[in-house]
Chains A and B, each alone.
Chain A
């Protein structure tokens, strides 16, 4: 599985529209410490939480997704101000498709404010002489908490360059909005330039189909973000390329999507090369690896494939290989 990077051209404004970011794939970038309000109408089209990434949470109810990237390391605290039961989780990744375990998580059943804190808000009494005085504020003491938690987990020591994804979920699910206030300390600042997040291309392959006498080109994405369209090009020399197909992308997606193009116009008796590129809404282009189909022996069945050391390898092996056909002839190809 290969990972490719797509440079996002979206610059977050720290604000979110109602129901606009209730999927991770459409998360809003946060790039400064200006307080903002959020809300959500539901869990979105994708329920991203599962056993591998939910941490202390259960499922999404009315979710709002954000991501941020510190440009300098430091400590980040935040307060989600609300009158109802909000939960949240933060993952130290920029990949919606591989969230892993959250680094901070709160599923507290408390109504009211919640968040990351250097010290627990409020001044509890019961300390000092006869318990009549205010207690010194202490840290929450935990990084994750279940329903019995107090709503506060430790502030997060963020690392410059690391992308973080944050889910804020309205468990009460009554569409009551929240306001989020940030507190940066120890030098933490966020990146306001476009963030690089991965778009994952899990497959890009092409094969000659004898019955149809065509080259079938297929590719599959695991995730897409701001994806406008794909462009497929063909070449016979690896230098001169011709656009042979354009397909609309799926904008934002976290589910596998397969694309297919059947090329009947390939050049016969030579090796045909295919190049795939992806163009986002801002015109940013990402080129993917070049693949090839050996049409020089189209119609003849390949019986064995060898690597450059003469060892037999699986038929689908990529790179420089030697193909042996049913008539005993061989051909050295790069694919």
Chain B
């Protein structure tokens, strides 16, 4: 994990297609994109229109790292992109 720069993450999960299903996996995603010291800084925002998680984190997470966590929790990653150095396009929380 690398800190100090922002990365925008966009990905979808199989069978996660509404807010209720997104909430059920939020606690799985939180530790991946937050530090232990500040566990709630980033909220993995879900876009109900395209069924996509879309948020910004300072932590560098590869597709493989995310997949490993998801598989361990019975979840499947459909697609994944990370863009380095972008500003948050999500609502400020």
Q: Which residues of A contact B (CB under 8 A)?
A: 42, 58-59, 61-62, 85, 107-110, 146-148, 171-174
Contacts and interface: CB of A to CB of B under 8 A. Distances in A.
Interface in B7-26: 18-24, 26
Interface of B: 18-24, 26-27, 39-40, 43, 93
Nearest to B28: A58
Nearest to A42: B40
Nearest to B46: A109
A270 to B, nearest CB: 56
The winner among A42, A62, A146, A148 for most chain B CB atoms within 10 A is A148
A109 B17 CA distance: 13
A147 B23 CA distance: 7
A108 B19 CA distance: 9
Given A58-B27, A59-B27, A173 B43 contact: yes
B40 A146 contact: no
Given A58-B27, A59-B27, A147-B24, A174 B19 contact: no
A172 B19 contact: no
A109 B40 CA distance: 17
A264 B64 CA distance: 63
A174 B20 contact: no
Contacts of A85: 23
Contacts of B40: 42, 61-62, 173-174
Nearest to B92: A174
Contacts of B21: 147
Task: Rank and list the top 3 A-B pairs by shortest CB-CB distance, nearest first.
Answer: A173-B40, A109-B23, A148-B20
